[in-house]
A and B are shown apart, each in its own frame.
Chain A
Amino acid sequence: MTTLAMQRRRATAGRVWKQFRGSKGGMIGLGVLLLFVVMALAAPLLADARELSPVFARAQGNPQWAPPSEFAPLGTDYIRRSVWAQFVWGSRVSLFVGLAATVLTILIGSVVGIIAGFVGGRPDAALMRLTEWFLVIPFLPLAIVLASVLGRNVWNIIFVIGVTSWPSTARLIRAQVLTVKQRLFVDRARSLGASGSHIVNHHILPNVMGLILANATLAVPISILTETTLAFLGLGDPSAASWGKTLEEAFVNGALSRNAWWYFVPAGLGILAVVLAFTLIGRTLEEIANPRLSRSR
């Protein structure tokens, strides 16, 4: 890549950031997200990982089902574990699965969308048929079925979310590729003898990148909520407890009838905050990438 192109790209990034800073919702979302990312990264400093083990909790002499007033800061659960420790360490799993699944979703969706849009013809028709089929199959039941046949571990869950949620991304990107393909600079590159892969890498990709990024940000909430639901239905990884897993354990072990709100409120609020943050950021990016969408005229 030439330095000229680099400079241009840096200027674009600067412009996007300037527009982003002007959006109140986007900045709030970014702030909330940073808070949770810091919490996930600093988990070992915030809570001892050993507190996740019921054996350790018992040895510590923790009380059972203790409300926050008796056991700071968030009380304990049915096997005496600190809810705070579960909240802090759960943020790691929820964020990681959400992000990794989104990366997979965007990867599949982009590859399918770019191939379909750029190559056109029969491959396009075939890929779009496949996309349509995947759009029709109800997403959550498919994820449930896949997760229950594949088994319960983090990587399977990431895989399941990735292969079930790529179709809408593929469609969106194909449409964008089709419009970029019409632009003059693509014709010019081709008449100068550029190969297909050169055109995709140097002309198509840079122009759909913004949309891919905005779409990725909006796909994270779906990934996180799907992971939460799968975990709640008992399909979560037993060795890596996410926020959804906490909700499941709280529900299964009767936290509701005990009114043990401290057990399931924090995890739910965490999911809500992270999902809302990504939605706000994604909507702002989308408006920047596609000003016609602007929702708050």
Chain B
Amino acid sequence: MNIVVLLKQVPSTESFIEIADNKVSVKTDDFKMVINPYDEYAVEEAIKLKEAHGGSVTILSAGLERTIASIRTALAMGADSGVLIQDPAVEECDSLGTARILAAALKQIPFDLIIAGQRAVDGDNFQVGIAVAEYLNIPHISLVTKEEIIDGKIRCHRTVEGGIVVLDAPLPALFTTQRGLNEPRYASLPGIMKAKKKPLEIKTLADIGLDAEKVGKPKTKIVAMKYPPERKGGRIIEGESAQAKAAALVKILHEESKVI
């Protein structure tokens, strides 16, 4: 089975995010860049499926040159090859543009299954993976915590409010990951050594046969960024006993905040 994982490099979730002087982007200089955590689940699941069913795992990303480090990490975990679309157009597009680029690249990569993160933890858009499925005209299932390949189809447990829904999709298909799917492995030292020799292609839009105009102008534009309102530093509730503190809190929540 040929599996393609869509991967994005993002700032680690522990990063302190600072708004840039232009007020519409963030300062990226000091970020520790990592594989998007939801894409890490995708890499792990793809490797597990390859171990069970044979085939290959290809990592596909669109991004800056520094993304190579994250693709190498995925190769060290056990993926077989990588493709990075590096082109000025990548930086300017919105989610739909990114999806068009990835879908064009996928025309050159044979696949039975595509796995993507439910969202990237930088933009939090929840859009790219699903849009890729639409452009390739294949079904998708999002927020998957468990999957199983049975006779040319994939059965997925999809997270919904208060539980799960089980759905089948014929292959080829795309699914997006949800925490709980697996525990991503760490790259082993031999894995890291091997990864250096695994194929990693860098392609431009021209290489994937996509005209920059076909990527489309962004239809969404960030016009301002701000920090969430600072919460007033906590009012610590004092009292002579735990009982007095508990009583004071309940009184405040009822009478002042009116939330209980």
Q: Is the pairing of A and B real?
A: no
